[in-house]
């Protein structure tokens, strides 16, 4: 599609307007679901930086989601007067630091070795959270840490203890992160990551710093995942080991593949479908996880590009930023 940028801008503005006015027409339950979709969408997009753009299949992405969640919870609970926004930023930075350390060991490995090493680190962090009861609360988790006073934004206040207030806080942070992520894919660094995915040996031969670039995208993905984890902690006002376990790593992988890793917007679509579908199916049967497993098998066998691959080509050309993986 020729010069689709103006159309993208119009569609983007229309979507933002709809999201801003959504609480006026949605029920409380629907607003809570929209909030959940927002931070899971950011989580799924962060995973897509690894797999969709860099070709790195990680089984331990929940490590950074959990680091962000626990950091935000602990900072708000134990640091007097900790600003809410600062706790989110701190969660992102701790997640990025964790990503840099873990990535330093992982990016030098390829294929199954890389995937299994990310899984090993994830299990190590989960076991730490499980056993370190004095700090993390172990299986009991940490709760009741969100401050009750409204968030002062200078020109206005935002009551994050209300469902609508938390929705707007989450939406703002997620949109800013998604905008930054979208911009990153358009930079020379974004093109470098795509080149490394296509042919790592050729990229190295041409002079690209392959391991350094992979470590940087690994760290950036960890940062965004940790921000999503921080928003998750604030929304739930509770953090437990379920935020950092293998199940959470599986969820984000499922969301990314469900929407399609060949597009920046695919994982966002995947998060929307995943949250709504699991809510609907779980209301019908206790065996909803079995149905999800069957859906994933069908997806792998017959829909390699995810649900975004079902969108007509002319429409998809507006959103797709790279060829499907």
Confidence of residue 38 (pLDDT cuts 50, 70, 90): very high
Q: In this predicted structure, which of 132-136, 160-164, 273-277, 307-311 has the lowest mean pLDDT?
A: 307-311
Q: Is 143 helix (H, G, I), strand (E, B) or coil?
A: strand
Question: At residue 8, does pLDDT exceed 80?
Answer: no
pLDDT reported for residue 315:
57
Question: At residue 323, does pLDDT exceed 80?
Answer: no
Confidence of residue 162 (pLDDT cuts 50, 70, 90): confident
| Residue 229, token pair as written in the block | 């984890």
Q: Determine the average pLDDT of the residues in 165-181.
A: 94
| Residue 59, token pair as written in the block | 């089984």
Of 244, 239, 225, which Cα lies nearest the Cα of 122? 244
- Report the share of the chain in percent with pLDDT over 70: 92
pTM above 0.85, yes or no: yes
Question: At residue 189, does pLDDT exceed 90?
Answer: yes
pLDDT reported for residue 224:
98
Q: Determine the average pLDDT of the residues in 125-146.
A: 92
pLDDT reported for residue 251:
93
> In the chain, what are the domain boundaries?
5-244
DSSP string of 206-254?
A: TT--HHHHHHHHHHHHHHHHHHHHHHHHHHHTEE-GGGSSHHHHHHHHH
Question: At residue 156, does pLDDT exceed 70?
Answer: no
Contact partners, residue 239, CB within 8 Å, separation at least 6: 66, 69, 70, 72, 73, 141, 142, 143, 232, 233
pLDDT reported for residue 16:
85
Q: Determine the average pLDDT of the residues in 243-248.
A: 94
pLDDT reported for residue 319:
54
Q: Determine the average pLDDT of the residues in 311-319.
A: 59
Tens digit of pLDDT for each residue in 40-94? 999 999 999 999 999 999 999 999 999 999 999 999 999 988 999 999 999 999 9
pLDDT reported for residue 325:
41
Question: At residue 290, does pLDDT exceed 70?
Answer: yes
Give buried/exposed letters for 186-207 (b at 16+ CB in 10 A, else e).
eeeebebbbbbbeebeebeeee
DSSP state of 160: T
DSSP state of 31: H
**Mean pLDDT, the chain, integer:** 88
Query: How far is residue 247's CA from residue 63's CA, in Å, rounded to a whole number?
Result: 11
Q: Which residues pair with 257 in a beta bridge?
A: none
pLDDT reported for residue 300:
76
Tokens 């630091």 — which residue?
A: 97
């Amino acid at each position: 599609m020729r010069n689709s940028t103006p159309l993208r801008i119009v569609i983007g503005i229309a979507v933002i307007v709809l999201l801003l006015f959504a609480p006026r027409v949605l029920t409380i339950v629907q607003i809570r679901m929209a909030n959940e979709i927002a931070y899971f969408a950011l989580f799924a997009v962060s995973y897509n930086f690894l797999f969709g753009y860099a070709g790195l299949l990680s089984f331990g992405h929940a490590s950074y989601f959990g680091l962000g969640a626990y950091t935000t919870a602990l900072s708000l609970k134990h640091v007097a007067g900790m600003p809410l926004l600062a706790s989110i930023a701190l969660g992102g930075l701790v997640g990025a630091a964790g990503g840099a350390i873990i990535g330093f060991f992982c990016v030098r490995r390829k294929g199954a070795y890389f995937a299994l090493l990310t899984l090993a680190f994830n299990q190590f962090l989960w076991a730490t959270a499980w056993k370190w009861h004095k700090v993390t609360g172990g299986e009991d988790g940490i709760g009741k840490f969100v401050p009750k006073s409204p968030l002062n934004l200078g020109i206005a206040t935002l009551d994050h203890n209300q469902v609508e207030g938390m929705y707007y806080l989450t939406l703002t942070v997620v949109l800013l992160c998604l905008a930054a992520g979208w911009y990153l894919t358009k930079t020379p660094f974004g093109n470098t990551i795509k080149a490394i995915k296509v042919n790592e040996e050729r990229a190295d031969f041409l002079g690209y710093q392959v391991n350094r670039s992979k470590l940087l995208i690994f760290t950036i993905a960890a940062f965004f995942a940790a921000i999503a984890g921080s928003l998750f902690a604030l929304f739930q006002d509770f953090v437990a080991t379920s935020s950092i376990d293998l199940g959470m790593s599986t969820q984000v992988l499922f969301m990314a593949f469900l929407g399609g890793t060949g597009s920046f917007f695919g994982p966002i679509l995947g998060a929307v479908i995943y949250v709504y579908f699991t809510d609907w199916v779980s209301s019908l049967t206790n065996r909803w996880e079995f149905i999800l497993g069957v859906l994933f098998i069908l997806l792998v066998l017959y829909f390699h590009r995810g649900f975004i691959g079902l969108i007509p080509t002319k429409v998809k050309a507006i959103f797709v930023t790279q060829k499907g993986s």
